[in-house]
Amino acid sequence: MDVRAQVATVFHLDKCIGCHTCSIACKNLWTSREGAEYMWLNNVETKPGTGYPTQWEDQTKYQGGWEVKGKSLKLRLGRRLGVLSNLFFNPNLPIMDDYYEPWTYTYEHLFNAPPSSEQPTARPISKVTGKFMDIEAGPNWDDDLGGSPVYARNDPNLADLSDAERAALFRLEQLVFFYIPRICNHCLNPGCLAACPSAAIYKRAEDGIVLVNQDKCRGWRFCVSGCPYKKVYYNWMAGKSEKCILCYPRMETGQAPACFHSCVGRIRYLGVLLYDAERIEEVAKSPETEMVAAQRSLILDPKDPTVIAAARMNGINDEWIGAAKKSPVYRFVKEWALALPLHAEFRTLPTLFYVPPLLPIAASSKRGKYDLTDGEFFSSLEDSRIPIRYMARLFSCGNEEIIKTAIKKLWAVRTYMRAASVGDISDQRATSAMSELGCTPEEAREIARLTSLPRWSDRFVIPPYQREDVIQQLTSPIGHKAQVGFGSNVPVRRGP
Ligand code: SF4
Ligand code: SF4
């Protein structure tokens, strides 16, 4: 067992109100610079929808992430030698039209326009060419299903749905939708890292944050192709790649990342996970429908004495082990099995997990109303307005049982809490739904508390960093074991 520590995250999608405050907090802090205008290290997408860059989930188009070929795990992009021989030819990159052309407005004209009978206007002007432009796309162009007859129909996740399911989904006047906020997943097996020909991307030894060394980056952009989530961006002014750094300077001083701190819906949780790095390759090669369970099995119990001993052997100190024991991420992902990785079939082993949204499913009860008391919910899962197959494609690699179990448990907890607080559901019905899923009343109350009434310190369990100790370990002759994803072609790299 090779125990490593990872700062991991959970987003609870039922609580996201799509306000984009997170995106703005990040933009103001990190990407309000020339060359970075189009970058949204945090963005929020409406689903169904095509996202940003458009259709990023379609790997037949972008060739991101990993695939199993024979018995081996390979980058979809091709072998490293192939990457090197194609340094000047990379057809799998998103182009500006896939993101959008960043723009501003001629605001000064509102103040400086000469007197006229017409009201002055501020025209859009390209931040790339400096010329007037017509706006044709933006990072949240299909927000709240705006233009969905055109855009949402191109969502790659609709591929498995029948014509009838599609027709039902696009009864526009009754449509439901939900939001998916996205940041870099700080994967355990990062495609970006493995694809970089300059060895500029590394995973920090102490917390697993994936970073681009700006001194080493040569701007080849294979990281952009290698990342299936399209969460590395090329700065066209600096000629370097940039990505989310999980606000590590904030975390090192005990503060939550800016998007977490500012989140209006309080949907975000952050904490340490301990995992077995020895099993990364084996887990990343799992059959698609078993990926979620396999990734869960990689996460170790921080209270297990064997795990604690192995963690100490690897230089993980007791404060980090203590933080792992209190981690809300461990509870949501492993203990309660409620939080699931997004598109685990990309095989990068993402460490951002999502609690799937309940409302778009519940809202489709047969009688057309949202009613907790009628007992219809479990029988109507098959008829939900957002088809279970669509949700399974997003969060459980097509395995419908996994997503159904998570949704049933969320519903059972809600029913139980309603019975306890409002009293219009019988206790017997509330508890029988839970016992079917092996969920105890204590667990239900804990899930409800961490979902609806968590304190700051419950949501963000940030371990004390003591960065100076880490630097000492990194530079000592024995050295802290550096963390990298799988890939025998990936040399072990340490911090800058
Ligand atoms: S491959 Fe994973 S770690 Fe790398 S940029 Fe994409 S999401 Fe982040
Ligand atoms: S700030 Fe929070 S609630 Fe608002 S869009 Fe971002 S993740 Fe959702």
pLDDT tens string 333-382: 999 999 999 999 999 999 999 999 987 666 545 555 555 555 555 556 66
pLDDT of 137-165, one tens digit each?
A: 889 888 887 777 677 788 889 888 888 87
Domains in the chain, CATH or no CATH each = 6-101+137-260 (3.30.70.20), 282-459 (3.30.70)
* Alpha carbon of residue 311 to chain centroid: 26
| Centroid of ligand 2 to alpha carbon of 327 (angstroms) | 21
Residue nearest (by alpha carbon) to ligand 2 atom 6: 22
338 touches 354 (CB < 8 A)? no
Our answer on whether the CB atom of 18 is closer than 6 Å to any ligand 2 atom is yes
Our answer on whether the CB atom of 5 is closer than 6 Å to any ligand 1 atom is no
Q: What average pLDDT does the segment 431-454 reach?
A: 90
320 touches 5 (CB < 8 A)? yes
Our answer on whether the CB atom of 344 is closer than 6 Å to any ligand 1 atom is no
397 touches 345 (CB < 8 A)? yes
| Centroid of ligand 1 to alpha carbon of 75 (angstroms) | 13
Contacts of residues 253-261 at CB distance under 8 Å and 24 or more positions apart, as own/partner, are: 254/462, 254/464, 255/462, 256/456, 256/459, 256/460, 256/462, 258/25, 258/26, 258/29, 259/22, 259/23, 259/25, 259/26, 259/42, 259/181, 259/183, 260/9, 260/22, 260/459, 260/460, 261/25
pLDDT at res. 150: 72
Residue where the block lists tokens 């018995």: 71
| Residues 222, 160, 173: CA angle, nearest 5 degrees | 105
pLDDT at res. 483: 45
65 touches 58 (CB < 8 A)? no
201-203 and 210-212 strand pairing: antiparallel
pLDDT at res. 87: 64
* Percent of the chain at pLDDT exceeding 70: 86
pLDDT band at residue 466, thresholds of 50, 70 and 90? Answer: confident
pLDDT of 163-221, one tens digit each?
A: 887 777 777 656 778 999 999 999 999 999 999 999 999 999 899 999 999 999 999 99
Residue where the block lists tokens 């461990």: 330
Distance in Å from the first CA to the final CA of the chain: 27
Residue 285's Cβ-side half-sphere holds a number of Cα atoms within 13 Å equal to: 13
Our answer on whether the CB atom of 19 is closer than 6 Å to any ligand 2 atom is yes
| Centroid of ligand 1 to alpha carbon of 314 (angstroms) | 24
Ligand having the closest approach to the CA of 357: 2
Our answer on whether the CB atom of 341 is closer than 6 Å to any ligand 1 atom is no
Atom in ligand 1 nearest the alpha carbon of residue 210: 3
How far apart (Å, rounded) are the C-alpha atoms in residues 172 and 84? 48
Our answer on whether the CB atom of 22 is closer than 6 Å to any ligand 2 atom is yes
